[in-house]
Structure 1
Amino acid sequence: MSSSFESLKVDAHGLALHARQRGAGGSPAVVFLHGYLDHSHSFDFVAEHLPDSWHLVLLDFRGMGRSGHLPRLANYQFADYLVDVEAVLRATGLEAVHLVGHSLGGIVATAYAAARPSRVLSLGLIESLGPLGGPPENALARLRGFLEDLERTPNRKPYPSVEVAAARLRDGAALPEHVALHMARHGTEPVEGGVAFTFDPTHRRRFAFGYDDAQWLALSSAVTCPVRLILGSEGYGFNDERARARLAALRPAQPPIVIPGGHHVHLEQPEAVARALRELIQSVR
């Protein structure tokens, strides 16, 4: 499945990131950004249904997958992930790419497309329409939560086997068994007492700062490339007033495509998701 991908070392201003690529030198170039606490292998099944002639780059965000962790006393913040995107584009020598992001990855992709419009040719968003946001007065509670989290010791829990770790993934998301095993095999490593997930548990701390609703609408309005929203029928919904406003700000040429599945619809229905991405990317000239 992933044997056709080669590992790529990425320097993010001194932090070693891990990415995988297939078809280097091919066209179009597509960079995939995974969701919170996931890893690049969450796009393996989708990649199987994309043309071999395409240049695919699958990134592990810092502190997730096989990428390096920050020093023990450091904290992750949202803007760090944009640094990771810049770093992988620099490492691959790509000037402009199609970005595909799931959940957190979609939020990062949207922010990057707004900040670097000349470098993003299209935006494929899977179950992603921005951060929780809220009104400006949420900023104080967020900052207090960040300080409170500093007192919590990050806990890296061991599991007796990959299969037990996979079962834990199924508890948190309605994933088919083979999908959970795939994610657990590629998202754990041996530790004393069994295996543990590779992500840095410090990621569970809340960010100190975040975008409120008005800021995110302004940012989304700055996206100039074609956008396609892909939703799971049993996913997060995105059918309230806030979601409609955010989608309108992105000005998609087509309505969202809804595919049977949950929040991880790209893992449950990879062929259908790949088809939607092909339609988007091939429409860009």
Structure 2
Amino acid sequence: MPSSFEALTVDAHGLALHVRQRNAAGTPAVVFLHGWLDHSHSFDLVAEHLPESWRLLLLDFRGMGRSAWLPRHANYQFADYLVDVEAVVRATGVEAVHLVGHSLGGIVATAYAAARPSRVLSITLIESLGPTGGPPENALVRLSGFLEDLERAPNRKRYPSVEAAAARLRENNPSLPEHAALHLARHGTEPVEEGVAFTFDPAHRRRFAFGYDDAQWLAISSAVTCPMQLILGSEGFRFDDERSRARLAALRQLRPPLTLPGGHHVHLEQPKAVAQALGQFIPPTR
């Protein structure tokens, strides 16, 4: 039976981040980074199949899961997530960690490893190959959208039950098994008047003021020097266009991608296979 996780509070320059840790004395140290509007429990099913000897740290990004929200009227930006990773890596007390990132978490892991190469030993990307990107002229469109979003009040939708919240998750991810959706909903909602609401800050739905264009992202991702692996779902995001091929080529230390049956949340659909891939990729020490 896997050992239990302990809850930690990590300070990210004054913001309290929620982190769950298993086996604080273990090695290697592996930090898990979840996707947009998800939370650390999205990796629970994978963790059940990972070695007890590993030190696991599962982060809730700021404004998601059980981590603190920014003050009202503040805005989230992509670089904030790098601050969160930096805070967790420093809190481990080890020189370097292995990163596992799903979707948004994979984008953050790649950017962090490029900026902090000495702190990252390896990266496992799950359904993640970079931001939307596009040509440089998209920057103006993005800025306009950012200002437009400021005029819209964040809407925190209510659901009559956890089951109804889980059903909403499956609308966006039809391949997500019912038990996995319920797991995400149980750990990702809280009681409110008239039912439950997801714990993420609805301000996360606003567009970023700044985003990397294709050329900038290629420059960042090509700077990653640690070993990398990419795990894809057969029914997940499509990475077979010209942009994706350029991004794959830029990742110099990337192994041939592994495709498993499933969708964008393939780690929830195939947790044992994903754990096996991690076990074969991450060395048993460091």
Which residue matches 1:132? 132
Instruction: Report 1:92-111 matches (<5 A).
Output: 92-111=92-111
Which residue matches 2:65? 65
Following the alignment from structure 2 to structure 1, what is the Cα–Cα distance between the partners of residues 274 and 56? 15
Following the alignment from structure 1 to structure 2, what is the Cα–Cα distance between the partners of residues 283 and 115? 25
Following the alignment from structure 2 to structure 1, what is the Cα–Cα distance between the partners of residues 262 and 142? 32
Instruction: Report 1:262-281 matches (<5 A).
Output: 262-281=263-282
Q: Aligned-pair distance for 1:102?
A: 0.2
Matched, 1:195 2:196: yes
Following the alignment from structure 2 to structure 1, what is the Cα–Cα distance between the partners of residues 182 and 118? 38
Matched, 1:37 2:40: no
Following the alignment from structure 2 to structure 1, what is the Cα–Cα distance between the partners of residues 284 and 134? 34
Q: Mean alpha-carbon deviation: is it higher for 92-101 or for 40-49?
A: 92-101
Percent identity between matched residues is: 81
Kept after mapping to 2: 8 A contact 1:124/1:230: yes
Following the alignment from structure 1 to structure 2, what is the Cα–Cα distance between the partners of residues 207 and 253? 28
Tell me, what secondary structure is at the counterpart of 1:282? coil
Q: Aligned-pair distance for 1:178?
A: 0.3
4+ runs deviating over 2 angstroms: 282-285
List gaps (5 residues or longer) in structure 1. Answer: none
Q: Aligned-pair distance for 1:254?
A: 2.3
Q: 1:253 to 1:68 in 2, by over 3 A?
A: closer
What are the superposed Cα offsets for residues 107-140 of structure 1, whole Å, 9 maximum, x if unpaired? 0000000000000000100000000000000000
Kept after mapping to 1: 8 A contact 2:38/2:188: yes
Following the alignment from structure 1 to structure 2, what is the Cα–Cα distance between the partners of residues 203 and 40? 17
Tell me, what secondary structure is at the counterpart of 1:86? helix
Q: Mean alpha-carbon deviation: is it higher for 249-258 or for 160-169?
A: 249-258
Following the alignment from structure 2 to structure 1, what is the Cα–Cα distance between the partners of residues 271 and 253? 22
Which residue matches 1:141? 141
Letter in 2 for 1:258: T
Kept after mapping to 2: 8 A contact 1:122/1:284: no
The CA RMSD over aligned residues, in Å, is 1.3
List gaps (5 residues or longer) in structure 2. Answer: none
Give me the TM-score of the superposition, normalised by structure 2. Answer: 0.97
Instruction: Report 1:89-238 matches (<5 A).
Output: 89-174=89-174, 175-238=176-239
Kept after mapping to 2: 8 A contact 1:104/1:128: yes
Following the alignment from structure 1 to structure 2, what is the Cα–Cα distance between the partners of residues 101 and 64? 15
Q: Aligned-pair distance for 1:228?
A: 0.2
Q: Aligned-pair distance for 1:83?
A: 0.2
What are the superposed Cα offsets for residues 8-45 of structure 1, whole Å, 9 maximum, x if unpaired? 10101101110000011111110000000000000000
Matched, 1:21 2:21: yes
Q: Aligned-pair distance for 1:283?
A: 8.2
Q: Aligned-pair distance for 1:252?
A: 3.4
Tell me, what secondary structure is at the counterpart of 1:185? helix
Tell me, what secondary structure is at the counterpart of 2:73? coil
Q: Aligned-pair distance for 1:247?
A: 1.1
Give me the TM-score of the superposition, normalised by structure 1. Answer: 0.98
Kept after mapping to 2: 8 A contact 1:159/1:193: yes
How many residue pairs are counted as aligned between the two chains? 285
Letter in 2 for 1:254: R
Which residue matches 2:53? 53
